[in-house]
Structure 1
């Protein structure tokens, strides 16, 4: 027999906010409150609470005399293809990089282990603030094998994706990457760099990229603004 647990208005509002979020992210105009109550068989208070959740996420605004308008824009980033940020977002604007560091450094133990080099041997370290049409999007910390990274230092790191430069300078194709994704809150320093409030939601990637023959080449620690990107992929059950 079907059972119905006791649910609060906040439970219903959260459910409704999830249903409306895709429309908001697609920049679709939301119906008025009255139409939403009819479409979702919800009370007006539930609708208002759901819209407040979307407003608190920075996605919509309630303007006097206008109604609900979409103000937050998130850009889709696919997780089922290995590509640089400029490749992924080329339909949405121009990706540029503020190069904060580009130099040879001794490899920390964890980096040496992941890249398969002796501990404290030299690797190339890149730190870049990445922008989409001038708006801060991610902070990327990258370690590269010295024979791969050194040639990159003579190229346009401000305007080019590292992946494209690696293939261009090495003459080898990248093959695959192992990636871990987790959510975290922005510390004060990262928040200042990314132009968000301390404690704002970030996505943290740890990505180890390999050549087609399986050799590791590039280890990245990436912090992405949670209010600017959404992750998308198609998962097959095969």
Structure 2
């Protein structure tokens, strides 16, 4: 049997190669436009310190008017008012300085202190021995003192009784005029035992701050005082010196001052123009005036 040869030819079909299709995403054409930057909005001008001070003063006045605060009433503490207004304490102090110079407010220290409404009158506590110059200075006023008369004389019956002296004992008699920011405020007449303060009348400016002179020159500290207050009408002489019409109301304070050991050092009668000062008093309890009360 003859050999059979199988001749197998593997044919590759024509055009059988796979066509590769490439899909290309074509982005839409973008037109680039040059952007011209717009003008920045105008900046709000920053207030100057003077403008800020003026605005704070305006707002404080509005608080006083809206809350119907009257002279002597408390606006608040510096911290509380700064928070209420939303300003710094430094800016508030600048405004308060201006208002205090204008005598619209006073600033008091202590537990009951704070910013107090003022009507331009000097505020004096009736139960204090603080000197008038110190009170005025603390409230932003200028107090000028003119010594009208200062002599070495002898104690009258009234003076001797109040100072615990024998009638005729040598005493100093002083008369002073006080002006508050240039306006007459008070007439003060004082008597002091001469033996306690030798050569006092020769000390320069001794009458400007009498208690200061006693403390600094003689080491005598006034620690207590008894005062009586009443009202009288200005005489022609008083009216002329205080620049008020005759018959104007005056507040009279009669005072006896003592050292800590009870030694009398001054008997005084002060006359204040009633329209230029306000007196305050803190009541601490019931005071029995007589055994039958």
TM range (shorter): 0.5 to 0.7
What is the total number of aligned residue pairs between the two structures?
Answer: 176
Calculate the TM-score normalised by the size of structure 1.
0.68
The alpha-carbon distance between structure 1 residues 25 and 174, as it changes in their structure 2 partners (threshold 3 A), is closer
Structure with a larger share of its residues in strand: 1
Whether 2:252 is the aligned partner of 1:204: answer: yes
- Residue in 2 that maps onto 1:135: 183
Is the contact made by 2:142 and 2:180 (CA closer than 8 Å) also made in structure 1? Answer: yes
Shift of 1:156: 3.6
User: Take 1:158 and 1:116, find their aligned partners in 2: how far apart are those partners?
Assistant: 24
Show structure 2 runs of 5+ residues with no match.
Answer: 1-67, 76-118, 287-293
User: Take 1:149 and 1:204, find their aligned partners in 2: how far apart are those partners?
Assistant: 26
Is the contact made by 1:98 and 1:158 (CA closer than 8 Å) also made in structure 2? Answer: no
Whether 2:147 is the aligned partner of 1:106: answer: no
Shift of 1:213: 0.6
Calculate the TM-score normalised by the size of structure 2.
0.56
Whether 2:166 is the aligned partner of 1:118: answer: yes
User: Take 2:159 and 2:177, find their aligned partners in 1: how far apart are those partners?
Assistant: 21
Relative contact order: is structure 1 or structure 2 higher (C-alpha 8 Å, sep ≥ 6)? Answer: 1
Shift of 1:167: 1.3
Q: CA RMSD in A?
A: 2.4
Is the contact made by 1:79 and 1:232 (CA closer than 8 Å) also made in structure 2? Answer: yes
Shift of 1:150: 3.9
User: Take 2:204 and 2:253, find their aligned partners in 1: how far apart are those partners?
Assistant: 24
- Residue in 2 that maps onto 1:87: 134
What does the per-residue CA deviation read over 1:190-212, in whole Å, with 9 as the maximum and x for residues that have no partner?
00000001010110010000011
